[in-house]
Amino acid sequence: MNEQEELIREIEQKGVRDPRVLKAIANTPRRLYVPEEQASLALVDRALPIGFDQTISQPSLVALITELAEIEPESVVLEVGGGSGYQASILAKLARRVVVIEQCTELALRARQAWKKEGLTNLVSVIGDGSLGYQPYAPYDAVVMSCAAPSPPTALMDQLSTNGGRLIAPIGGRESQRLTVYTRQGDELSVRHSVECAFVPLLGEGGYR
């Protein structure tokens, strides 16, 4: 069993079962998304620093978030806090279009290069305040926040599809949060809590004060 197969088995053991998600993880070379000095750890299930006070999340958490997002082939997805671009790469293998917002220009440019190496063509990269979302492609079937917030930003909730649109976000304090799924159905909103986690904070209007 090679390193990639071992990683997939570990992710399965942690509870992720969707075969489409597992296949997307297996087909994504994480080495493209980590700094060169971290390459030997690319297939270890742990978060790694990528510079600019940001990290690339551990693959099992990326897999869980992707599974919770319930992506379909025709889905239009927004990711807030694109960072390395790894989470977006996974989403792009499952969705019709993925819009990614990242406030750090250098990280956004790195992510674009990695996507190009993978041959991904259904990603839209936006540099800016992710808490405001991105109206041109709304409404979104799923919004994935790869950064923590004290509460779900209003703009992101407003840009969710009213036909089962889902926001998956780490909600809580600066140091620790709980992964939370908000599902919008018409004027109704349901909330489901998942695992405890620790993400870098959301910057911008909808972030921490």
Catalytic residue among 40, 57, 190, 194: 57
Residue 35 CA: distances (Å) to CA of 31, 110, 118, 123: 8, 10, 16, 21
What CA–CA distance (Å, rounded) separates 66 from 61? 8
Active site residue 57: yes
- Catalytic residues, by residue number, are 57
